[in-house]
Homo-oligomer: A and B are copies of this chain.
Amino acid sequence: MFEVAELKNRITKQQYDREVSELRTQLLDVQQKLEIAGLPVVVLIAGVDGAGKGDLINTLNEWFDPRYMCTHAFSQPSDEERERPHHWRYWMSLPPRGRIGVYAIGWYGPPMADRVYDRIGNAKLDAELVHINKLEKELADDGMLIVKCWLHLSKKQQENLIQKLEKDPETRWRVSDVDRKHLKLYKKFVGIAERVLRETSTGEAPWLIINGYDQHYRRLTIANHLIERISARLEAQSNGFSSTAALQQKPTLVNNGPSLLSSLNPELKLGKSDYQERLALCQGRISQLTRRARQRKVSTIMVFEGWDAAGKGGVIRRITQALDARNYRVIPVAAPTDEEKSHHYLWRFWRHLPRDGKVTIYDRSWYGRVLVERVENLAKPEEWARAYSEINDFEEELTDHGIILVKYWMHISKDEQLKRFKEREKTSYKRYKITEEDHRNREKWDLYEAAVNEMITRTSTEYAPWRVIEANNKYYGRIRVLKSLCDAYESQLGG
């Protein structure tokens, strides 16, 4: 979930200065409009320590007209608060129509802290999150716009920040024992945050996750996001939509955000003889491991997604060479049949779930919903926006059942793709693979790339993480997949 947000993204002082005054004008403009339209807005800022929550909230207070907004930070409940149900203080603080309420962590604070310090377990945490979802749904149903932002830092970034502050005598006082303690809890905290964000990223109130390391970047990004969400909402309202969930499901994509894909190293290579040696080794291991899984009645689902010509077919063949033909099926996913079209879009994937000990390999998958169907407008915005959590739920059912689920995104650069298209056109028996459509798709590369980034952010879960494979070099890419597959089997089946 935090893969993309681990990447630092920098906006220079010059660019920041250039953009900021225009942005502030726009912010005041949407604020005025929402006041006239009577739209209540909740802006909730949360994230890891040191990622700039405080700075961001101060900035919003500076940039918005403070007369029509209010900021709320909650610490230990007062007597007054403790003597009422624990959501009482949040209810009392909610902004009226036409106003903005900014929340530092808000209702997420107590359950997350309780979980981090093991005062509650996962079951109780989940119950609290159901409670929070009900609250947010109720408010959204009533017409409130809820914008939730999560500021992330990689562990290294968090360490760097603390070191920087400690070095400077003028800022040393800002590093407390609590910070040092939190740094130790980093991994645990981020694991819990992932669960919280996954369970509460709903159609009504999705989370925006960004890297918070660079002050300029986080300020501009959140401000832009606010302008976009508020404007979209006001426009939908003026078009006569009421407060249905659908109209709130505007994509939460950050256009100027960092791209996971662009951060990959396209230069990774493997020579032919090295490749052949490793391939034989990997296939041997896979053969053994899948046999063991079969004996233990553990089934497997492999999902392959990636750019056209990224080598999905090639790597699938290298895997199936190592499998017993009676035990696997490859499901190539193209346009749905008539029968499939007459069901829910997940139905055609449910059909092919493997029995105990069997393997199903999906060559493209349910992720089509948030990739091609999104980019080509085959699904409505509310449909694909809703799909992220539907897919997470679906995959949770699979892994809860004990299925080993692995997902690969095969990545190549745009140039490499063109090269491969041209090669295919030259080879007679591969020419059929290239159509006009493939070239048309290339024109939408940026849109697809944005969709892939959002997909990976929102559907990488601890039970089903995405594995992004640098596949500019075919040999390298294949070995990466095969090795990661072995690792997945070994970690689930034991030694």
Report whether A88 and B350 are in contact in the complex, using a CB–CB cutoff of 8 Å. yes
Report whether A85 and B245 are in contact in the complex, using a CB–CB cutoff of 8 Å. no
Which residues on the B side are within 8 Å of A144 (C-beta)? 344
> Does A205 interact with chain B (Cβ within 8 Å)?
no
| Chain A residues near B (Cβ < 8 Å) | 38, 40, 80, 83-88, 91-92, 94, 96-98, 123, 126-127, 130-131, 134, 138-139, 141-142, 144, 242, 244-246, 297, 299, 339, 342-347, 350-351, 353, 355-356, 380, 386, 390, 393, 397-398, 400-401, 403
Within the assembled complex, what's the spacing in Å between the Cα atoms of A297 and B242? 43
* Residue from B139, B351, B393, B400 within 8 A of A134 (CB atoms): B393
Extra 5 A-B pairs, beta carbons < 8 Å, given A83-B297, A91-B347: A38-B342, A40-B342, A138-B390, A142-B344, A242-B380
Within the assembled complex, what's the spacing in Å between the Cα atoms of A300 and B40? 32
Report whether A342 and B246 are in contact in the complex, using a CB–CB cutoff of 8 Å. no
Shortest distance in angstroms between A296's beta carbon and chain B's nearest beta carbon?
Answer: 13
Which residues on the B side are within 8 Å of A343 (C-beta)? 94, 96-97
Which residues on the B side are within 8 Å of A86 (C-beta)? 401
Complex copy number for this chain: 2
* Residue from B85, B96, B347, B353 within 8 A of A398 (CB atoms): B85
* Residue from B142, B245, B401 within 8 A of A345 (CB atoms): B142
Q: Residue on B with the closest CB to A143?
A: B344
* Residue from B91, B130, B347 within 8 A of A130 (CB atoms): B130
Shortest distance in angstroms between A107's beta carbon and chain B's nearest beta carbon?
Answer: 13
Q: Residue on B with the closest CB to A91?
A: B350
Q: Residue on B with the closest CB to A386?
A: B141
* Residue from B84, B134, B244 within 8 A of A355 (CB atoms): B84
Report whether A97 and B342 are in contact in the complex, using a CB–CB cutoff of 8 Å. yes
Within the assembled complex, what's the spacing in Å between the Cα atoms of A86 and B396? 12
Within the assembled complex, what's the spacing in Å between the Cα atoms of A100 and B155? 53
Within the assembled complex, what's the spacing in Å between the Cα atoms of A334 and B222? 41
Q: Residue on B with the closest CB to A82?
A: B356
Q: Residue on B with the closest CB to A98?
A: B342
Shortest distance in angstroms between A282's beta carbon and chain B's nearest beta carbon?
Answer: 28
Shortest distance in angstroms between A312's beta carbon and chain B's nearest beta carbon?
Answer: 25
Which residues on the B side are within 8 Å of A80 (C-beta)? 355
Report whether B353 and A85 are in contact in the complex, using a CB–CB cutoff of 8 Å. yes
Which residues on the B side are within 8 Å of A351 (C-beta)? 92
Which residues on the B side are within 8 Å of A339 (C-beta)? 96
Which residues on the B side are within 8 Å of A134 (C-beta)? 393
Interchain residue pairs with CB less than 8 A apart (21): A83-B299, A84-B353, A84-B355, A85-B353, A85-B397, A85-B398, A85-B403, A88-B350, A88-B353, A91-B344, A91-B350, A92-B350, A94-B344, A94-B347, A96-B343, A97-B343, A123-B127, A126-B127, A134-B393, A142-B344, A245-B245
